[in-house]
Amino acid sequence: MVKPAFQATEFVERLPRRPYCTNDPAQGLLIRPQTTALGYRHIQYNPPPHVSCIVFDVDRKPYMQRREGYQEWRERGLPAPHWIAINPENGNYHLGYLLAAPVPRTNAARLKPLRYLAAIEHVLAKKLGADMGYVGLITKNPVHRDWWTIWHNHEPYSLDYLAEFCPDADLAAYNRRSGKEASGLGRNVTVFDNVREWGYSAVREYWRPNGYEAWANAVRAACESANAFGREQGGPLPHSEIKATAKSIARWVWNRFTPAGFSQVQAHRGAKGGRIGGKVSKRPTKNGKARADLLPEVIRLKAMGYSNRDIGEDLGIGSATVSRYLKRDPE
């Protein structure tokens, strides 16, 4: 099929400089310069640091083989994808949406957009009947001649626009899911949440001269341990993403939780007569503070090594609420 120049160019411009590629995923992946990789049937479509497009893998059922199954997006009231790469032999296809602005996925200081996108991706995948275990690393190369590619000439979509096609109840249900249910971009969020919360208190063990290298190695090991996703979730994240994520978490926590800050918090709490863990504690409570105002204190107390239960008692909130605070974007 003739490809609209704008969309084909847009797709190519967003590719990594040296993407993974292969003619047969079962035979493993290669890393090649972009111009060479474009000659392969499957190609990596997002660079490790960010997400500039989301792709869904849809396998057609036997009863659908005799009709245009790649029109599911239209039948389910979803926006037109920017491309659909169809296997002419069995009708299975990948469809992709270009994003108006790339979303960081290895930046510990900017998790809100990634959480938002992960929820949108999950809901859209459900509506399309897409494979929830799709890894999301490589896609059918839409500019390769082996696929029948349909292009739609639309401007890239914003997250807010895509969210209009996701019922609020479905987005809310996704945000209440457990880490064990993570898939797609939700795996990135789960690694961030688990390792960052651990890091708030663990970093104190590395407060020593030249301690950052040991700290960075510890965070890397924690990320690799947290990257234990089953096949039904899409499997573990690529090594390059874990490496970049660990680097970001290590730097973010190290710069914000320092010995000087720890001493200052202790002095402040000592002046108020508060202490964690005793029945006679005269700890300050939230005293009508807005919930957003409690987040810095929750993070500081966690960095001091207090349990979620003790923090909750100290601030007059539940331990489950403390856990939710610690999973929030710190911005």
Q: From CA 328, how far away is CA 314, in angstroms rounded?
A: 19
Q: For 132-156, what is each residue's pLDDT tens digit?
A: 878 788 999 999 999 999 999 899 9
Q: Is the pLDDT of residue 283 over 60?
A: no
- Which strand ranges, in their side-by-side order, compose the sheet holding 50-58? 50-58, 93-104, 83-86, 148-151
The more confidently predicted of residues 311 and 198 is: 198
Buried b (16+ CB within 10 A) or exposed e, 103-130: bbbbbbebbebbbbbbbbbbbbbebbeb
What is the CATH number assigned to the segment(s) 180-256? 1.10.340.50
3-state class (DSSP) for residue 223:
helix
CA angle, residues 56, 20, 194, in degrees to nearest 5: 65
pLDDT of residue 284: 43
Name which of 170-174, 246-250, 265-269, 309-313 the model is least confident about.
265-269
Q: Could you tell me whether strands 148-151 and 42-44 are parallel, antiparallel, or unpaired per DSSP bridges?
A: unpaired
Residue ranges, CATH 1.10.340.50, the chain = 180-256
Q: Do 161 and 79 form a contact (C-beta atoms < 8 A)?
A: yes
Residue ranges, CATH 1.10.10, the chain = 260-326
What are φ and ψ of residue 116, in 5° steps?
A: -60, -50
Q: Nearest to residue 92, comparing CAs of 73, 133, 64, 112?
A: 64
pLDDT of residue 328: 61
Q: From CA 184, how far away is CA 182, in angstroms rounded?
A: 7
pTM of the model: 0.68
Q: Which two tokens stand for residue 281?
A: 């504690």
Residues of the chain with pLDDT > 70, as a percent, come to 75
Q: Nearest to residue 274, comparing CAs of 313, 325, 308?
A: 313
- Which strand ranges, in their side-by-side order, compose the sheet holding 42-44? 30-31, 20-22, 42-44, 138-140
Q: Which residues lie across from 299 on neighbouring strands?
A: none
CA angle, residues 252, 254, 258, in degrees to nearest 5: 130
Work out the average pLDDT over 248-273.
68
- pLDDT band, very low/low/confident/very high, at 233 (cuts 50, 70, 90): low
CA 173 to each of CA 122, 123, 178, 192, 293: distance values in angstroms, whole numbers, following the listed order:
11, 10, 10, 20, 26
The gap from C-alpha 277 to its chain's centroid, in whole angstroms, comes to 35
Q: What is the number of helices (H) and of strands (E) in the chain?
A: 13, 8
What is the CATH number assigned to the segment(s) 260-326? 1.10.10
pLDDT of residue 2: 42
Q: Could you tell me whether strands 50-58 and 148-151 are parallel, antiparallel, or unpaired per DSSP bridges?
A: unpaired
